[in-house]
């Protein structure tokens, strides 16, 4: 069974349909990239898969069940970096990763946290408040938070935003590691280079 399955999905906002009759299947270990013009519904589709956006028609299943963001079990299985994902402005990258991993029952060692931060290029700003980080550093921290804990499904909305070419290559490595571990990945991206590097399939929303 596919980890992610959407059948005949449509979302209507007021009198306008963002998309209709959309089918999507993403297996464990596969990465599907979503592309299309701004406002076409890529972010909305990711929200449907995460269970924070109701569908107007059709159905979405994640591991055979309807997505439910209020379920602890679902949140443990599905990791996300959406377009409105936020950091705690007063907490440092080190504190963010400590808090994240601790909340999932995996109290990290100081060495583990430092290794993760170095891997994300955040070692030199590990103890700087998030509010003082650059846009690229904040994006790296959000992405690191999405992949640092165990997960079976990964949803990323424009992970390339505010990142330079080197950092975008790092994103491609992250996604490759996740799919190699059997994670089902869906990425909404405008970057054709990143898309070519990560995607097993591309779905264009029209």
C-alpha dist (Å) from residue 173 to 46, 117, 205: 21, 15, 25
Residue segments in the chain with a per-residue pLDDT below the cut of 70: 1-2, 106
Tell me the C-alpha distance between 137 and 120, whole Å.
9
Predicted TM-score (pTM) of this structure: 0.95
Tell me the C-alpha distance between 18 and 205, whole Å.
9
Q: In what order do the strands lie in the sheet with 184-188?
A: 78-81, 153-157, 184-188, 31-35, 201-204
Q: Are 45 and 34 in contact (CB under 8 A)?
A: yes
Q: Dihedrals φ, ψ of 127, to 5°?
A: -115, 20
Provide the pLDDT for residue 206: 84
Give the model confidence (pLDDT) of 95-111 as tens digits: 999 999 888 776 788 99
- Find the CATH number of the domain harbouring 79: 3.40.50.300
Provide the pLDDT for residue 107: 76
Tell me the C-alpha distance between 100 and 161, whole Å.
22
End-to-end, the C-alpha distance of the chain in Å comes to 27
Task: State the residue range of the domain holding 47.
Answer: 4-204
Number of domains composing the chain: 1
Provide the pLDDT for residue 1: 52
Token duo for residue 97? 């990763």
Provide the pLDDT for residue 2: 67
Residues 6+ away with beta carbon under 8 Å from 5: 24, 25, 26, 60, 61, 62
* Beta-strand relationship, 31-35 and 201-204: parallel
């Amino acid at each position: 069974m596919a980890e992610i399955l959407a059948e005949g999905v449509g979302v209507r906002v007021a009198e306008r349909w963002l998309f209709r009759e959309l089918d999507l299947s993403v297996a464990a270990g596969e990465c599907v990239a979503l592309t299309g013009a701004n406002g076409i519904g890529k972010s909305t589709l990711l929200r449907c898969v995460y269970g924070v956006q109701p569908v107007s028609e059709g159905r979405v299943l994640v591991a055979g069940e309807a997505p439910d963001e209020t379920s602890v079990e679902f949140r443990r299985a599905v990791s996300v970096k959406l377009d409105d994902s936020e950091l705690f402005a007063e907490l440092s990258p080190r504190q963010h990763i400590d808090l994240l991993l601790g909340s999932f029952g995996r109290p990290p060692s100081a060495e583990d946290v430092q290794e993760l931060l170095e891997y994300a290029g955040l070692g030199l700003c590990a103890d700087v408040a998030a509010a003082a980080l650059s846009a690229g550093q904040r994006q790296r921290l959000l992405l690191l938070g999405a992949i640092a804990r165990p997960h079976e499904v990964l949803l990323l909305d424009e992970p390339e935003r505010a990142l330079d070419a080197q950092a975008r290559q790092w994103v491609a490595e992250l996604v490759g590691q996740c799919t190699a571990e059997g994670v089902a990945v869906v990425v909404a991206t405008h970057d054709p280079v990143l898309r070519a590097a990560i995607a097993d399939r591309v779905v264009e929303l029209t």
